[in-house]
Every structure is written in C-alpha cells, then in structure tokens.
Amino acid sequence: MKKIRLLLADDHKMVREGLKAFFAPTDDFEVVAEAEDGLEAVENAINTRPDVILLDLVMPNMDGIEAAKSIKQKMPDAKIIIITSSLEESKVIASIKAGAAGYLLKDTSPFEIEEAIKKVNRGETAFPSRITNIMVKELNKPSKPVSKCTTLTERETEILKLIANGMSNQDIADQLFLSVWTVRTYVTGILDKLEVDNRTQATLYALREGLVKLD
C-alpha cells in the first residue's frame, strides 16, 4: 500500500525527531519534509506536495494559522492538521477557518495521531471531542440570516450532508453513482454559494443549519 507522505513543521527539533521516530518503523507513513518555522513550512509544502501536513500552532516568522492560510491559497487541496498544546477557543476556530482538517493536542496518543492522519488523508476531518465542544459553542452563536444567493439545490444539499458526515469526494461519488469530477464540481459550487473557503467551514454551516447533527 502507498505510504502517506508527511511534512512535519515544528520549531522544536525534539518534537520533530519524536514524530519521525514514531513513524519510521511503520509501513503507512513517510516523512518527506520538515520545517522549523511557518515560512519554511509553506516553501517545503509547495516543493514536496505532501499528502498530509502537520503544523505546529506557534512557530517563528509565521505561525501555523498563517502558514495554513498561505498553503491553502497556493495548494487548495492541501490536507492540514494543526498539532499543538493550545486549547484556546479563538485559535481552534481560526485554525478551522484557515482550512485545517484536523486539530490535535500534543498529549494525543500516537495511535490517535496515526488515525487522524489516515482520516484526513482520506478527505475526512479529525477533531477530538475537546475540540468538537469548542466547535459546538461557535455554532451556537447567533448567525447572520442566510441570503437567497446561498440557497442550495436538492442535490447540493444532499452532497453537503455527506461532506458534513466526513465523506470524501470518492465516497460521495460511489454512493450517489456520480463521477468524482462531477462531485468536485458540485463541491466547488456549494462552497461558492455558502461563501466559505473549504469543506470544514461547509460542515460548520451544515451543522448550524441542522442538516446534520454531531453525535
């Protein structure tokens, strides 16, 4: 099976070495690049095109949130996991808005990190319960009225529900008997109508509107 290619960005060499030591014996992962600050993370992401990028939140020159934004601007399909020791609510929400598909704390077990990477690589999201609680608080804040321009068709609503349930484009295509290209076109249209930048923000919209529910 093809290994998942990783970029590790953390300003502490010990953290990077620890993660590399964990991934080294496995057949599932390959560390193809490292970075010790945000600017280097952006540059190395563009140069190596990893499958999944693990970004520390606090780094010199450019923090993880700004690095995530920059990477997503240049590589819209990039799959990013923020890995940090911060549970600060504003940082969690900012990371999601920046396009992170996962948010893990540094006390997360190696098994949970491994599973999160695999989920994000499949096009799903990886947010543990502690982070989900913060997301729920954000959802419960008063929202602006939905304008008519964001009204979705029945098919778009159906696909949005599947996105919110963590399904990848391939999974959606298989379930609805559509081509992956058609699903990608629908997803792009949905993001445009909802005026959001990524699947994570679309999921938040679906949750806010009651189209799906968190378990």
Is pTM, for the whole model, over 0.75?
A: no
Query: Start-end ranges of CATH 3.40.50.2300 in the chain?
Result: 4-138
Q: Which CATH number fits domain 4-138: 3.30.200.20, 3.90.180.10, 3.10.20.90, 3.40.50.2300?
A: 3.40.50.2300
CATH architecture of the domain with residue range 144-208: Orthogonal Bundle (1.10)
d(CA 214, CA 117): 21
| Rounded distance between C-alpha atoms, residue 82 and residue 95, angstroms | 7
Note every long-range contact of 89-94, with CB atoms under 8 Å and residues 24 or more positions apart, other chains counting: 89/134, 89/137, 89/138, 91/57, 91/65, 92/131, 92/134, 92/135, 93/134, 93/135, 93/138, 94/65
Q: Report pLDDT digits (tens) over 16-70.
A: 998 888 888 888 999 999 999 999 999 999 999 999 999 999 898 899 999 999 9
Domain with CATH 1.10.10.10 in the chain: 144-208
Residue 215: band (very low, low, confident or very high) from pLDDT cuts 50, 70, 90: very low
